[in-house]
Amino acid sequence: MKESGHHPPRNIIQKIASLRDKLHEHNYRYYVLDQPVISDAAYDAMLKELERLEKQYPELVTPDSPTQRVGTAPLDSFNRIEHRVPMFSLSNTYDTREIIDFEQRMQKLIGDEQKITYVVEPKLDGLAVELVYERGIFVRGSTRGDGFAGEDITLNLKTIGSLPLRFRPRSESAPERVDIRGEVVMPRQELEALNRRRAEEGLPLFANPRNAAAGSLRQLDPRITARRRLDLFCYAVGYHEGVTFTSQWQLLSQLESWGFKVTENRYLADSGEEIIARCQQIENLRNQLPYDIDGTVIKVNSLALQQQLGEKSRSPRWAIAYKFKAQEETTKILDIIVQVGRTGALTPVAIMEPVRVGGVEISRATLHNFDDLHHKDIRIGDHVVVKRAGDVIPEVIAPITALRTGTEKPFPLPTRCPVCGAHVIREPEGIIYRCTAGLSCPAQLTGSIFHFGSKRAMDIDGLGMKLVEQLVGKGIIKDIADLYNLDAETLAGLERFGEKSARNLLEAIEASKHRPLNRFIYGLGIRHVGEHLARVVVQHCPDLLISGPPDPDTLMNIPEIGPQVAQSIYEFFREKKNLSVIRKLLDYGVDPQPPETAEKSQPLAGKRLVITGTLSQPRNLVKDRLEKAGARVSGTVSPQTDYLLAGKNPGSKLERARNLNVNVISETELEILLNPSSSGSETQPLLPLLEQQPETEKSHEQ
């Protein structure tokens, strides 16, 4: 280390300043714009160089240096900080009629001669904070607390990558002081990862992202906070000196230009009806966003009018929060039952006191698996938090242990199938418990037949689950081959099934006899063999139904076939009952055709793709095209992913792809990949995300 009293060389001062400027800019591009231009490794190398120089010249360390984001020593407690301007809470409404009342009340208070404009923004479901900047440098931050004072969480806030340690661009004319208000949130994907880690450690799980964000910010050790990927959105200012704002819209634009993350989904509105329309527009985005929102905030746009309207009690008169229907509620578990799926997998399901969640009454919710059930320690009789997001199956998040009375009963691990009574086994190195009865188990038979006739398999139009349940329940069908022995008279005798429906179904069954072999294999429901692997298998084993599959070692020579899949295929075709059903299918005239292939040249052969966001075509059609072009379509971004196809409103997969330097492409760029010769671009490789962005990702530039 340099001896004290030696002035650092000028070139060192300049190098440190340059490194800081570059790191601040890359932080902004990564955390705020979601548009990184360098790799993580390059960023880490610059940061390490800066740390080395600051260690050598400690007198050059400044509070806004990127090296100062994570403190080293835990705090004993949080100090209390007063807000120079109180952080008022908002009046809430759940009724759109009250939005009309609010707009009319504002107009009446201001007078009809002046038209009022409003700003409608998402109401983020996190922890409200205040950030104090002096001459553009972050100096301290606090929680909202009681509105007049909060806890000093400066060190924890510094760990949030989207919080600027100084304004950008760097300017000597930065305001003397600005107190900026915002919301710290935890992305849903990060909450899932955090809860997985906590479950492995036997720790209580967080019930929702809001609680997780609050708990993370109130850690006395900032290093714990740093390990949880929190995010920050800013939306208001409190006390300010040396800067003026004219409107909420202009204020948000100014925050954005200073380098703060501001919601893109903000709108202007001139009437109560338009406000309601904007609220509904934001609510429609609710489940597409990577973080939770629980409503919208409606504000008078003009700050002069805000000042004129003033406050009432502890809330501003010029703003109101419209709350969406709750997606989380509490209820009580009356019982836990076990469902048996098509592959014999056993899933625990909670039977609950009915409760309305997200506008829908629910009385059942998934408990995922028995490991999850026991990690969460959910018991019969527990009061629990339940969640429903969009159209997904409701799930139990966590028990409310404080309400336990001692009468609650843990649910035992199953040893017998609840449907057929067969033995249950746990998969080696897995979390799934499975019935061993196979197709003789009625629960699996129903699912197997429905899967066999599904659109992506044999595509038997009209073969719905209720019909399958009738056919199995009445003993008309005892295996999938019996589908091809149905007649109009039998079908016409079923509940709500007329002559025309019977004729249509029989025509669909007849047409299915000549589906491609890969769809037939997929329809058999072989464990671990989905659509893509079915296509891979039949391309390498086109005589599978005649000669049977090779041994597992030979199967593993096929690209993408590992030991688990190879063993599953081999065992399936060794099972006499399965071979009997296949022979029966062939005897009934099922004649699988040569496997589906794309063009002789497969432009995406061996490539792995993931899809995110809304596409211009149905996702199934796009997936089908990709697989015909030789691609493997996965649901998870990993280091092995070659491309992420990003549509509108992409989710958290986009951030992970960027973190892993996975190429992100638009639908237009996909067409170039699929048709290189017709595009004239066969010699021009697609630019990766670091150099080129899909149009849907340029909203910050608009």
Relative to beta strand 315-316, strand 80-82 is unpaired
Q: Which whole-number Å values give the CA distances from 675 to 384, 680, 682, in the listed order?
A: 53, 9, 9
What does the buried/exposed string (b/e) look like for 338-368 if buried means 16 or more CB atoms within 10 Å of the residue's CB? bebebbbbbbbbbebeebebbeeebeebbbb
Whether 123 is catalytic is yes
Alpha helix positions (H), 365-473 = 370-375, 442-452, 465-473
SS3 string of 299-347? Answer: EECEHHHHHHHCEECCEECCEEEEECCCCEEEEEEEEEEEEECCCCEEE
The contacts of residue 323 (CB under 8 Å, 6+ apart) are 92, 93, 94, 123, 294, 295
Beta-carbon count within 10 A of 450 CB: 21
Distance from C-alpha of 556 to C-alpha of 565, rounded to nearest angstrom: 8
Indicate the angle between helix axes 619-628 and 531-540, nearest 10 degrees.
20
Written as one string, the DSSP assignment of 464-498 is -HHHHHHHHHTTS-SSGGGGGG--HHHHHTSTT--
Nearest Cα neighbor of 96 from 295, 314, 265 is 295
Tokens of 118: 């409003």
HSE-CB at 415 with a 13 A cutoff on CA atoms is 1
Distance from C-alpha of 35 to C-alpha of 31, rounded to nearest angstrom: 8
Give the active site residue among 55, 123, 628, 698. 123
Cα-to-chain-centroid distance, residue 276: 27
Q: Mind telling me the catalytic residues?
A: 123
